[in-house]
Amino acid sequence: MKEETVIKVEGLTKVFGDFTAVNKISFHVRKGEIFGFLGANGAGKTTAMKMLIGISAPSSGSANVAGFDVYTQTEDIKKSIGYMSQKFALYDDLTVKENIRFFGGIYGLSKNRISQKSNLLIEELGLEKVAHSLVGSLPLGWKQKIAFSVSLLHDPKIVFLDEPTGGVDPITRRQFWEMIYKAANNGTTIFVTTHYMDEAEYCDRVSIMVDGNIEALDTPKNLKTHFGSDSMNDVFLKLARS
């Protein structure tokens, strides 16, 4: 069975002035895969991701996301993807329901679809009690679960998560990953950056970026064998130090 490729990146580069943030990276992501995009702070993960989601124009190279070109078809890409940024990006001064309605609305969902989705989401996350509370008043872990669900509202083919579990307790992280698995089982491709190495173990495949280059790309298991380590943490340290 030939697996469908949803992200194709060839020699993608981003230069700011005389600083090369992303240096000719290339990789493919398959449909339904959980793809871990690892790297130290400042390695170029977020810059690379911003090019893929169409809010930053690449300097050179090519990339194709959900069948669309990152140079010319950014608006089509945006219809097919969901995104959750490391900066919490729901409106603090709107309630949970209002946030859902707003984002559903700008993705062009019908009114019925929005209220259906919104009820489902609130039920799944057990948010009945706080559905009419301002998002700003909720704990961070809740906010991030809501943000993830909101990024799935329009049933995107691919979801990009930029350090989604930063600053969250282990239990919530666990729950968060369960949500990710569920989405992946439904056929959604997950593209996630993180610097929690235990989370890297949950991914189908991981790439590790160092100083703008992708230094390694394989399944966690293969990477561990290749580097002769027993944890991803070790793999990462070996790569980052070399």
Partner 1 sequence: MRVILYIINKEFRQIFRNKGMLPIIFILPLLQLVILSNAATYEINNISFGYVDNDHTHTSRALIDKFRASTFFDVSQVFPHPKESDLAMLQGEVDVVLTIPEHFERDLWKDKNIDLGVTINAIDGAAAGVENVYITQIIKTFNKNLSVDMVQLSNNTVRPVLIEGIPLFWYNKTLNYKTFMVPGILVLLVTMITLFLSGMNIVREKEIGTLEQINVTPIKKHHFIIGKLFPFWVIGMGLLTIGLVLAKLIFATPMLGSLALMYFYTSIYILVILGMGLFISNFTDTQQQAMFIAWFFVVIFILMSGLFTPIESMPKWAQFLTEFNPIKYFVEIMRMVMLKGSGLTDILPQLVKTTLYAVIMNAMAVWSYKKIS
**Of 76 and 234, which has the nearer Cβ to partner 1?**
76
Among 12, 53, 66, 152, binds partner 1 (CB under 8 A): 53
Smallest distance, partner 1 to C-beta of residue 58, A: 10
Q: What is each CA distance from 208 to 28, 91, 199, in whole angstroms?
A: 14, 32, 13
Instruction: Note whether 131 binds partner 1 by CB under 8 A.
Output: no
Q: Where are the alpha helices (DSSP H) in the chain?
A: 45-52, 74-80, 96-106, 111-125, 140-151, 170-185, 197-200, 220-227, 232-241
φ, ψ of residue 166 to 5 degrees: the values are: -65, 130
Closer residue to partner 1 in complex, CB, 102/196? 102
Nearer to partner 1, 57 or 120 (CB): 57
Q: Of 163, 141, 158, which is closest to residue 41 (Cα–Cα)?
A: 163
Site string for partner 1, 86-125 (x = CB under 8 A): -xxxxxxxx---x--xxxxxxxx-----------------
Residue 191 near residue 11 (C-beta atoms within 8 A): no
Q: Which is nearer to partner 1, 11 or 105 (CB)?
A: 105
Q: How many residues bind partner 1 (CB under 8 A)?
A: 33
Angstrom distance (rounded) from CA 43 to CA 166: 17
Interacting residue ranges for partner 1, rule: CB under 8 A: 50, 53-57, 74-76, 78-79, 81, 83, 85, 87-94, 98, 101-108, 134, 160
